Structure 1
Amino acid sequence: MFSIGEFAALGRVSVRMLRHYDAIGLLRPAEIHPVSGYRYYQADQLRRLNRVIALKDLGLTLEKVADILDDKVGIAELHGMLRLRRAQLEAQLSSDAARLTRVEARLRMIEEEGHMDTEDVVLKGVAPARVAELSARAASYEGEDIGPVIGPLYQEICRRMDVAGVCPSGPSIAYYTAAPGETGDGQAVLVHAAVEVARDTGPGREFDVLDLPGIESAATIVHRGPMDEADRSMQILARWIDDNGYKPLGYAREVCLQMNENPANWVHEFQLAVSKA
């Protein structure tokens, strides 16, 4: 079972959204603690969450989404809705094209439900690393809020490192923490664009240098392909964590192992700190 904050992070949605879905009866928690009132969710509920997000991103109202889900909409019907919405979105600007990419990624996850291979998940320790980084606030942990923040951050940290004559000594590592003033429950996050560097970076730099702590026990998975499809790998991690009796701690780190002009060739390792539940 996952707390509402943990479930939000694994499903890459906000806690605010889950609370709203609960309030309107669209996605109820699997269990509510009788004393504290805390909400708890099961990994299997990611199935319904995937469908809710895909249908909502197709432009349907939440009331219509509820009607469709209650009638147990099938993959064929979702494909039909996607094709109809595609014709509308192609006439709009790049922001709508990005939304379509997210819809397609969610649809692929729905098609693969029940066939996600958790054998690719490895439990291991992660060593600490000295990193140069810049950080900025994102409205939420949702992909549509993270993307416009992290891209410019990495462009800027690379520019500043070049000006300072600092060369990377290892991979880039994107990680996330609760934004100042937030409780860490899936609302606004601080996006950290970090690059591993040597111990001595010299004076006069215009970026932060810090020691990123190691992780004693991390559930890890290698994600191949564009980051638009990162949700699939995150949900494999969620299944493995649930099946093996672990509890997620915070947000996953994203370690870039390979990147070139073609996002299909990108390789990242996701590292999520865990403890026994």
Structure 2
Amino acid sequence: MFSIGEFSKTCQVSVKTLHYYDKIGLLKPVKVDALTGYRYYSQPQMEEMLLIQRLKRYGFSLEEIRGMLACGEKRELFSKLLQQKEKLLQQKQETEQVLRELSAHLLDFERTGDIMGYQKGYEIQVVEAPERNVIASRQNMSVDEFGKYYEKLYQRVPEEKVTPNGMVGAVYYDKEFNRECSDIELVVGIREREKADRTIEKGLCARTLHRGAYSTLSEAYAALVTWIGENGYRCSGAPYEFYLRTQFDGLSPEDWETEIFFPIEKK
């Protein structure tokens, strides 16, 4: 057996941390001396401690690690590790995208001397938006659930014998935006008016084109709202967006294009 000091030194973990792991039931000493209160650890616990440290580096919380160690099922442990790998890869992609955005922002700032210069690059147009026949799915959803509901919409295409026209988008009905739960309608444009769930009506809109990742769409929305207020208009309906160029075209996020429409009327 190892004293807590020996165990601490070998595994390069503080005694304070070992006391905490004991307290939360993550790693209890194999023996506690009844007289002195000294804690002792075994050789197998050294391996367990090393695994805990590795799982922490992978980004698992202590609560998650405790559950994984208690499980012991190899298949479930492998599945959790695989899921964590996918999560870390996603985080890596998001970090790389943020770095690209930051680099572009720095270049623009250096060139113009305006830290908000990127916000002024949107071209706002007043257009008569055409009517669009769509099949639709509207519910309270998170942004991360878009894929699930789009999949259900596209399952309807062969079942209902409709012809997509390439227009895919979303309509936002809530006055406030909540990424985790908002009243959103996902739409897929189709050619057959008689088979559509509804028609997005034609009408006067302020329109702009956003180039870049969806994480920065708020910049385009802010530019539109500012322009509408400064030019004698007001919003008269739910804003909507169409995804013109996406990852499904084999493009990196900075090359994605999203067309945004705000229905408007004169004040």
Q: State the TM bucket, normalised to the shorter chain.
A: 0.5 to 0.7
Give the Cα separation in 1 of the matches to 2:140 and 2:122.
35
Q: Which residue number corresponds to residue 75 of structure 2?
A: none
Q: 2:130: which partner in 1?
A: 127
Larger Rg: 2
Q: CA deviation at 1:275?
A: 2.5
Matches within 5 A, 1:46-65: none
1:149 maps to 145
Aligned residue in 2 for 1:171: 167
Is 1:210 the counterpart of 2:179 in the alignment? no
Tell me whether 1:273 sits opposite 2:266 in the alignment: no
| AA of the residue aligned to 1:120 | E
Residue 155 of structure 2 corresponds to 159
In the alignment, which residue of structure 2 is the partner of 1:253?
240
- The 2-side partners of 1:270 and 1:239 are apart by 14
Alpha-carbon contact 1:118-1:237 (below 8 Å) kept:
no
Which sections of structure 1, spanning at least 5 residues, go unmatched? Answer: 1-87, 139-144, 179-183, 203-207
Contact 2:122/2:220, CA 8 A, preserved across alignment = no
Task: Answer whether contact 2:239 2:261 (CA < 8 A) is retained.
Answer: yes
Task: Look up the equivalent residue of 1:135 and give its one-letter code.
Answer: R
3-state SS of 2:119 partner: coil
Give the number of the structure with larger relative contact order, counting CA–CA contacts within 8 Å between residues 6 or more apart: 1
Q: What does residue 222 of structure 2 align with?
A: 235
Flag the structure with higher helix content: 2
Structure-2 change in CA distance of 1:103 and 1:231 (3 Å): farther
Q: Distance in 2 between matches of 1:272 and 1:257?
A: 17
Q: Tell me the C-alpha RMSD between the 2 structures.
A: 3.6
Contact persistence 1:121–1:237 (CA under 8 A): yes
Note the alpha carbon deviations across 1:77-108, whole angstroms, 9 max, x for none. Answer: xxxxxxxxxxx999466499499799879978
Letter in 2 for 1:169: N
Q: Give the aligned residue type for 2:257.
A: V
Distance 1:105 1:233, change over 3 A: farther
Q: Is residue 126–residue 205 contact of structure 2 (8 Å, CA) maintained in 1?
A: yes
User: Matches of 2:215 and 2:259 in 1, distance apart?
Assistant: 15
C-alpha distance 261-99 of structure 1, shift in aligned 2 (>3 A): closer
Q: 1:271 to 1:89 in 2, by over 3 A?
A: farther
Partner deviation per Cα, 1:22-45 (whole Å, 9 max, x = no partner): xxxxxxxxxxxxxxxxxxxxxxxx
Q: Which amino acid aligns with 2:250?
A: E
Letter in structure 2 aligned against 1:240? W
**Aligned partners of 1:105 and 1:229 also within 8 Å:** no
Deviation at 1:264, TM superposition (A): 3.0
Do 1:168 and 1:195's aligned partners in 2 also have CA atoms closer than 8 Å?
Answer: yes
CA–CA distance in structure 1, aligned partners of residues 132 and 234 of structure 2: 24
Q: Name the structure 2 match of 1:190.
A: 183
What is the TM-score when the length of structure 1 is the normalising length?
0.50
The alignment-based identity, stated in percent, is: 17
Q: TM-score, normalised by structure 2?
A: 0.52
The verdict on how the C-alpha distance between 1:172 and 1:89 changes in structure 2, with shifts beyond 3 A counting, is farther
Q: Distance in 2 between matches of 1:118 and 1:103?
A: 19
Cα shift at 1:248: 2.5
AA aligned to 1:239 is T
Kindly state the Cα deviation for residue 119 of structure 1 after the two structures are TM-superposed.
5.8
Find the aligned partners of 1:272 and 1:265 in 2 and give their Cα distance. 23
